[in-house]
Amino acid sequence: MNHNEIWQAIDKLAEQNNLSPSALAKRAGLDPTSFNKSKRIGNDGRKRWPSMESIVKILTALDISFNDFIATLSPLSRINQSAATIPLLGFAKAGRGGYFDDYGYPIGSDDWDGIMFPDIADPNIYAIEVSGDSMLPAYRDGDRLIVSPASDFRRGDRIVVKTKEGEIMVKELKRQSAQMIELKSINPEHDDRTLLMSNIDWIARVLWVSQ
């Protein structure tokens, strides 16, 4: 399951429902430009993946299952689907030192566990396992968030944020400027956060959730 195949599957769903990619995004309650081809590659040339939340909104809007979405991939792709072992870390450990470099990339592989996940051709991805109920209703205890420190992110994406004090959190990006970042809590029982960018250690985008 690579970058092109995911986007081709979204395009195929739009075509099957007599929609343009923009109309599909709008029906799913997203910004109409979310699935534009110009948005699939970042300004720096990095591949931009659709978020799990966006895909779930598509499936809900079209009333189809995730298996139906997978079925839109080419038969050859499904037959040849490969898996890779990616690093896995418990959420409680993620805020401690020694697991990430200054840019949020995983280090110290001997201290990480591993899980099998479809190979999405991104050597930088890793997984964080949710503990507790602080991220309900979106994420439950035991869910694994597939995270990419190399991916671009924008308003509405869910991101992992680590502060210089060692606090680590998963929030939705509301707004970011050169000086500040505004974060929306996934669990409505928890307050939103506004932080100084100078207090942020690193930010990584949540690509997927493995439940």
Give the model confidence (pLDDT) of 189-208 as tens digits.
Answer: 899 999 999 999 999 998 88
- In this prediction, residue 85 carries a pLDDT of 83
pLDDT, tens digit, 9 for 90 and up, residues 17-61: 999 999 999 999 999 999 998 888 877 777 888 887 788 889 889
Residue 61: both structure tokens together = 């809007």
Identify the band that residue 78 occupies on the pLDDT scale cut at 50, 70 and 90: very low
Helix axes 52-62, 3-16, angle to 10 degrees: 20
- Nearest to residue 150, comparing CAs of 100, 103, 116? 103
- In this prediction, residue 73 carries a pLDDT of 66
What average pLDDT does this structure show over 77-103?
77
Residue 122: both structure tokens together = 């991104």
Q: Which domains does the chain have, with CATH numbers?
A: 3-79 (1.10.260.40), 83-210 (2.10.109.10)
Identify the band that residue 163 occupies on the pLDDT scale cut at 50, 70 and 90: very high
Rounded to 5 degrees, what are φ and ψ at 191?
A: -70, 150
What average pLDDT does this structure show over 3-11?
85
Q: Is 157's pLDDT higher than 80?
A: yes
What average pLDDT does this structure show over 76-93?
70
- Nearest to residue 139, comparing CAs of 148, 153, 149, 127? 127
Q: Do 168 and 162 contact (CB within 8 A), yes or no?
A: yes
pTM over 0.75: no
Q: Do 144 and 128 contact (CB within 8 A), yes or no?
A: yes
d(CA 115, CA 150): 20
Residue 164: both structure tokens together = 């210089």
76: CB partners within 8 A, 6+ apart = none
* 109 vs 75, residue with greater confidence: 109
Which residue's entry shows tokens 């030192």?
A: 97
